[in-house]
Structures are given as C-alpha cells and as structure tokens.
C-alpha cells in the first residue's frame, strides 16, 4: 500500500505492524568512492495493537532544516520512550529528516545545497532533497492524519517559542487546527495568511487535507533550553489531545498564563527588511512587546565608521516573533517579524 512505484528510496518498515519498529529510509547517493552508497535516515514507527482500539496516524518530523535542533532532540527522546502497549493509533517519527544537513549543522543540505522545505512535493528523479520530499509526499503522507513539523529559527534568527499554522478557508479545519495548536501548549500560536509556501512540507500536508501545525522553538543555531522543554511537552500533549495516550494536555505557561496566546501575522507590515548590507543591532529580543514606530534596530557600517547607521522602525505594534540572528545582514533580509493578537476570521 505504502509503496510509490517510482520512488528510489528503500525502507523495510512494515507500516501496519503493531509495536515498535526502528529502521532507516535508505536514500541512494552515488559518490566517487561508493557508487552504490546510500544515506540512512532514521525513522521510527510505534503503533498500538488492534486490541487497544483504532486511533489516528500522527507524523512527527524534526530537522527538516538541519540547524534547528529542538525537534531533533525531542522527537528522538520520544522515539526511545514511547510505549506501544499504552498507545492507540500510530506515531511515525523522523527526528532529522534532512540528516546530511542536521549532521552538518546547516539549514541547507550539503549534498545538493537545497532547502528541503522548498522541494515539495518533490521529484523521484531529482536531487537528494527532491527525492526525499517525493518519498514523504507520496509514501508517508497518504497514511497520515495529523502532522507536527518541529522547526526553530536556525541560524537566521531567534523565535518566540510558538506553534504556527496557516489560515484555512474551511471553518471546521480552522477550528480543529487551532485546537491542536492550543493542545500543543507553546507560549504562542501564530496564524499566517497568504504566505507563498507552495513548496514546503506543510503545503504538501495541507493539499492532502491532513491536520497540520508547525513550530518555531528557538534559534540562533543553538539548542534552546526552554525550546526543548516546550517541544517535549507539546509532542506528548498532541498525543493526549488525540486520545492516543492517557492524560490531559498540560498547557500552563511560565508567566502564569493557563494556555497558549493565539497571534497572527496577517500582512506585510509585520515584517522589517534590511535596506543595506551591514551589521544589525537589534533593540529587542524575541517575545518582547513592541510599538509601531519604535526603533527595531540599527544597521551599522563597520566598513566606514564615519557613515551614520540606518535606523529601522517597526511597522505595527505587537510581540516580536522573529528576531534576526547573525549580526551581518544583507539587503532584503528579514530583520524582525511582529505578530499581533489573533482576531479570528
């Protein structure tokens, strides 16, 4: 059933077997020193027995970008600990989807220099990332009911700890997705409008009518201590919310709030872009409340210390969702994204 005739990726998993299976996706990668070489991407499937009753299939993915670590750690840990005897349904876990990028600590795959999350729905005759995207889209996604793709901001930025989702036209899907995000229980959930994301994993997931959320749980290319905790709790919360393991989602926040604060990024004024190459001095960290017109930061020119820095301002009030990471910035880079409270719709 789960075999795309034209995929070049091999996998010996029996997708319908109860219990716990540990295997790899074997992606052919011809090299000078290994013409029949393959890249092994760890995959774990844990499924409850029929006797425990039927449940949904959930896909947990981490490391779609190699330098986003919180999901890689949290999903690996879950894969080691999840007990099939206490599980209803099936959990498919791929902690580091773009494994070559994850091992290199980079966003892009070193094998083909591509962003896996810009390669969907993929191509079985394409490069490494295109092959991998095609396998996920055509073999794995048809089995999946709910997808949680765990990201953080990587080297590019730091993020306020959050889930995110696209705005969906269908009211029922919208409601179910908001409920899933609320169950995950990150400090924030961000609803996006009209983002051009046609080639992402999320877009493939949504085309197949699968319930879908993503996350942003840290960044700056390091492992966020809090981000790992939010990820671990969130993954367990999702399984509880779907009735797959016992218990109720725990959504209490460090600041005393009972649950997730729903936010949105609706239009372009949320973004502050870099006007010139230089060195960016931010004025706020991710998660800070900011005002429209306030200074977002300064672009400095160490190449010419006598040149005045360029001051950048926020174009809307809200909470800083994404704060630019590496000091050096180029014209057109996103330096700040401000989210504001969700207004429904």
Partner 1 sequence: MAAKTQAKTRVFSDVDYERKGKQATVLRVPQSRNDSGWGVVQIPITVLKNGKGPTVLLTGGVHGDEYESQIAISELARTLEPSSVQGRLIIIPALHYPAAVNGTRLSPIDNKDLNRCFPGRPEGTFADVLAHYVTEILLPITDVNLDLHSGGRAMEFVPSTTAHVLDDRAKMAETEALALAFGAPYHVVIKEVDAGYTFMTTCERRGVTAISSELGGGNRVSIPGLASTRRGIMNALKHLGVIRGKLDKSGPKTRVVTVPDYGCYAFAPQAGLFEAYHPLGAKVRKGEAAGALHFIDDPHRKPIIIDYGYSGELWCTRGQGQVSAGDPVAVLVAVR
Binding site for partner 1 (CB under 8 A): 22, 40, 42, 44, 63, 67, 69, 72-73, 75-76, 79-80, 95-96, 99, 102-105, 155, 158, 220-223, 225, 228, 279-285, 300-306, 308, 323-328
Instruction: Give the pairing of strands 57-62 and 19-28.
Output: unpaired
Supply the DSSP symbol for 31: B
| Contact criterion met (CB below 8 Å) for 68 and 154 | yes
Nearer to partner 1, 20 or 167 (CB): 20
Supply the DSSP symbol for 84: G
Q: What DSSP line would sit under 89-155, residue for residue?
A: SEEEEES-SSHHHHHHT-SS-TTT---GGGSTT--TTS-HHHHHHHHIIIIIGGG-SEEEEE---TT
Three-state DSSP at 293 gives coil
Dist. CA 30–CA 36, nearest whole Å: 6
> Residue 215 Cβ, how far from partner 1 at the closest point, in Å?
16
> Residue 327 Cβ, how far from partner 1 at the closest point, in Å?
4
Dist. CA 319–CA 262, nearest whole Å: 11
Nearer to partner 1, 187 or 249 (CB): 187
> Residue 241 Cβ, how far from partner 1 at the closest point, in Å?
24
> Residue 158 Cβ, how far from partner 1 at the closest point, in Å?
7
* Cβ atoms < 10 Å from Cβ of 9: 20
> Residue 332 Cβ, how far from partner 1 at the closest point, in Å?
16
> Residue 103 Cβ, how far from partner 1 at the closest point, in Å?
6
Dist. CA 68–CA 106, nearest whole Å: 8
Nearer to partner 1, 208 or 328 (CB): 328
Nearer to partner 1, 30 or 306 (CB): 306
Nearer to partner 1, 210 or 335 (CB): 335
* Residue reference for tokens 């070193």: 110
Nearer to partner 1, 107 or 241 (CB): 107
Nearer to partner 1, 291 or 328 (CB): 328
Nearer to partner 1, 89 or 154 (CB): 154
> Residue 70 Cβ, how far from partner 1 at the closest point, in Å?
9
Buried b (16+ CB within 10 A) or exposed e, 173-190: bbeebbebbbbbbbbbbb
The size of the chain, in residues, is 345
* Cβ atoms < 10 Å from Cβ of 330: 9
| Contact criterion met (CB below 8 Å) for 333 and 274 | yes
> Residue 132 Cβ, how far from partner 1 at the closest point, in Å?
15
CA atoms 132, 162, 322, 324: torsion sign: negative
> Residue 161 Cβ, how far from partner 1 at the closest point, in Å?
14
| Contact criterion met (CB below 8 Å) for 103 and 109 | no
* Residue reference for tokens 């207004």: 343
Nearer to partner 1, 243 or 326 (CB): 326
């Amino acid at each position: 059933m789960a075999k795309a005739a034209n995929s070049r990726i091999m996998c010996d998993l029996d997708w319908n077997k109860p219990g716990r299976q540990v295997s790899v996706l074997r992606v052919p990668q011809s090299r000078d020193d290994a013409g029949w070489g393959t890249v092994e991407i760890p995959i774990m499937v844990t499924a409850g027995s029929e006797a425990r009753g039927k449940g949904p299939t959930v896909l947990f993915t981490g490391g779609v970008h190699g330098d986003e670590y919180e999901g890689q750690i949290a999903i690996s840990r879950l894969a080691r600990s999840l007990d099939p005897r206490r599980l209803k349904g099936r959990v498919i876990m791929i902690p580091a989807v773009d494994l070559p990028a994850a091992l290199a600590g980079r966003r892009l795959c070193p094998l083909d220099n591509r962003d896996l999350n810009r390669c969907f729905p993929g191509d079985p005759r394409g490069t490494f990332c295109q092959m991998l995207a095609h396998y996920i889209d055509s073999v794995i996604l048809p089995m999946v009911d709910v997808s949680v793709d765990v990201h953080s901001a990587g080297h590019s930025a730091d993020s306020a700890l959050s889930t995110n989702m696209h705005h969906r036209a269908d009211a029922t899907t919208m409601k179910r997705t908001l409920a899933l995000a609320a169950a995950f229980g990150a400090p924030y959930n961000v609803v996006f409008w009209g983002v051009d994301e046609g080639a992402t994993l999320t877009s493939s997931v949504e085309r197949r009518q699968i319930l879908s959320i993503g996350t942003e749980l840290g960044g700056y290319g390091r492992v966020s201590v809090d981000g790992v905790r939010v990820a671990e709790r969130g993954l367990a919360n999702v399984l509880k919310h779907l009735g797959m393991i016992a218990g109720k989602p725990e959504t209490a926040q460090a600041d005393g709030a009972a649950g997730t604060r729903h936010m949105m990024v609706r239009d372009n004024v949320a973004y502050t872009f870099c006007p010139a190459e230089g060195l960016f001095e931010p004025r706020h960290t991710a998660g800070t409340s900011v005002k429209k017109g306030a200074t977002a930061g300064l672009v400095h020119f160490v190449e010419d210390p006598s040149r005045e820095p360029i001051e950048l301002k926020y174009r809307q009030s809200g909470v800083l969702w994404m704060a630019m990471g590496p000091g050096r910035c180029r014209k057109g880079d996103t330096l700040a994204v401000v989210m504001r409270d969700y207004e429904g719709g």
